[in-house]
Amino acid sequence: PSLIESELFGHVKGAFTDARRSRDGLFVQASGGTLFLDEVADLPLELQPKLLRALQEQEVRPVGGSEEIGFDARIITATNADLEARVEADRFRGDLMYRIDVVRIELPPLRDRGRDILLLTQHFLEKYGAENGTPRTLAEDAAAKLLAYDWPGNVRELENCVQRALAMARHEQIVV
């Protein structure tokens, strides 16, 4: 938790053993832009009030500091957890959930977005194929296999699958 706090809010020189110099946290660094907080549901309970206060006041207090520093950043959060269930289980603050739940975009799992599977596969083939100098295409049977799979790891799993296929491919076209 103390490392996360230092990353988010910064720290002053001498605040802890290895704090040899002051450092702005991610909120201040993001001023004038956007800060993306991924897996916000995993934020330790003891840091949630500090995050709530930062969002409400648009200022942070660095670890070991005595003064607040303002920031002007759009905050985007993401999670794959059910925040409402976590609030009910006292594992996430309700007031924080309502503070970050301004515009909710629910993205269905990859398995429910068949067309996206092939679009993302093509993107990854182009990206990693260009990096490796080995452009590849996808055979129809391989595309059918991708569409039939459940993808419990969502996009990250698909990306790894494409990287593995490129590494193992012996022909210009990826086949099953």
Residue 138 has pLDDT above 90, yes or no: yes
pLDDT, tens digit, for every residue of 143-171? 999 999 999 999 999 999 999 999 888 88
Quote the pLDDT of residue 17. 80
Quote the pLDDT of residue 38. 95
Quote the pLDDT of residue 170. 85
Residue 62 has pLDDT above 80, yes or no: yes
Angle at 91 between CA 89 and CA 95, to 5 degrees: 100
Quote the pLDDT of residue 15. 76
pLDDT, tens digit, for every residue of 65-93? 999 999 999 999 999 899 999 999 999 99
**pTM (two decimals):** 0.76
Quote the pLDDT of residue 104. 93
Which letter does DSSP use for residue 137 in this model? Answer: E
Structure tokens, 11: 């720290």
Closest CA to 51 of 31, 29, 77, 30: 77
